Amino acid sequence: MYLSARHSEIMQMAKEHGRVLVDDLAGHFGVTPQTIRKDLNDLCEQRLLSRIHGGALFPSGIANLEYEARRKIAATEKEAIGRAAARMVPDNASLFINIGTTTEEVGRALLDHTGLMVITNNINVANRMRVYPGIEVVIAGGIVRGSDGGVVGEAAVDFIKQFKVDYAVIGASAIDEDGALLDFDFREVKVAQAIIANARHVILVADSTKFERTAPVRIGHLSQVNSFITDRCDIPAIRRVCEEGEVQLIETSRVGAATEPA
């Protein structure tokens, strides 16, 4: 398939960062946003990219991106979400931290806490937190997924069920407008469901790109969590689910971000 030089560079940028934005591309190439929108539409018609508001994703929204590529998507937003979630967790608390690039940012932001007991099925989280003397790390047993260091399967589920913790930090690959939380791997979903069931306060962390994607396996529903931290939520249906379900919505990009449940 022939691609122009600009199209090829757009594809490379999308591959490296997971997504590209119209305004950023227009500045990079020195062309108008209208020109870039046409480029993105052309690439999407060839099914090389998937269109989102203000830009495009690589690959299509229904495909699970490579883990390292996912780290780069909304990296600044994930860092802010991680800091906001860490502020909710006091010292001397017990908590689950699940698989995901955003949950890993929460783990990073918790490193200045003391007296924590962290139970995780995420090898990346365990490896980063284990060297801090104020944090006790307990890692689940089970099948280690090579792509992202996640521990999944029935053994991990059984392990999680042994605990009842103060907080759980979970992520999702996609969030539907009806509030459904979705993922790609049914084995990972089983672990996430066990985590939700065995925590007193569940914190969902997910950046706003998750509203633009879909995935085939249902984790649960937004109303099952206590707090939802995102960079922004511009979808009225999602905001309504939070309000009706008494879910605390925290938007890190907004001043006075916390919206308390009714």
Q: Are residues 55 and 134 in the same domain?
A: no
In a domain, 68, yes or no: no
Alpha-carbon span 255 to 17, nearest angstrom = 27
Q: Are residues 139 and 218 in the same domain?
A: yes
| Predicted confidence (pLDDT) at residue 184 exceeds the cutoff of 60 | yes
Q: Are residues 48 and 84 in the same domain?
A: no
Q: Are residues 176 and 217 in the same domain?
A: yes
Cβ–Cβ contacts within 10 Å for residue 201, how many?
17
Confidence band for 256, pLDDT divided at 50, 70 and 90: low
Q: Which two tokens stand for residue 20?
A: 């590209």
Alpha-carbon span 124 to 104, nearest angstrom = 7
In a 13 Å sphere around the CA of 235, the CA atoms on its Cβ side amount to 18
Confidence band for 70, pLDDT divided at 50, 70 and 90: low
Q: Which residues lie across from 21 on neighbouring strands?
A: 55
Q: Which residues lie across from 248 on neighbouring strands?
A: 227
Q: Are residues 247 and 261 in contact, defined by beta-carbon separation less than 8 angstroms?
A: yes
Is residue 131 helix, strand or coil?
coil
pLDDT tens-digit map of 200-243: 999 999 999 899 888 889 999 999 999 999 999 999 999 999 99
pLDDT of the residue at 135: 97
In a domain, 66, yes or no: no
76, containing H or E segment = helix 75-88
Q: Are residues 209 and 122 in the same domain?
A: yes
In a domain, 171, yes or no: yes
Domain assignment of residue 18, given as a range: 5-60
In a domain, 12, yes or no: yes
Buried b (16+ CB within 10 A) or exposed e, 216-255: ebebbebebbbbbbbbebeeeebeebbeebebbbbbbeee
In a domain, 254, yes or no: yes
In a domain, 246, yes or no: yes
Lowest-confidence pick of 1-10, 57-66, 130-139: 57-66
Which pairs count as long-range contacts for 5-14, CB under 8 Å and 24+ apart, including other chains?
Answer: 6/39, 7/39, 7/42, 7/43, 10/39, 10/40, 10/43, 10/49, 11/43, 11/48, 11/49, 11/58, 14/49, 14/56, 14/57, 14/58
How many structural domains are present in the chain?
Answer: 2
Read off the CATH number of the domain in which 220 is found. 3.40.50.1360
Read off the CATH number of the domain in which 48 is found. 1.10.10.10
Q: Are residues 19 and 130 in the same domain?
A: no
pLDDT tens-digit map of 127-156: 999 999 999 999 999 888 877 888 998 999
In this prediction, residues 171-190 reach a mean pLDDT of: 93
181, containing H or E segment = strand 180-183
Q: Which two tokens stand for residue 216?
A: 């085939």
Q: Are residues 197 and 141 in the same domain?
A: yes
In a domain, 69, yes or no: no
Alpha-carbon span 170 to 56, nearest angstrom = 26
- In the block, which residue shows the tokens 């042994």? 162
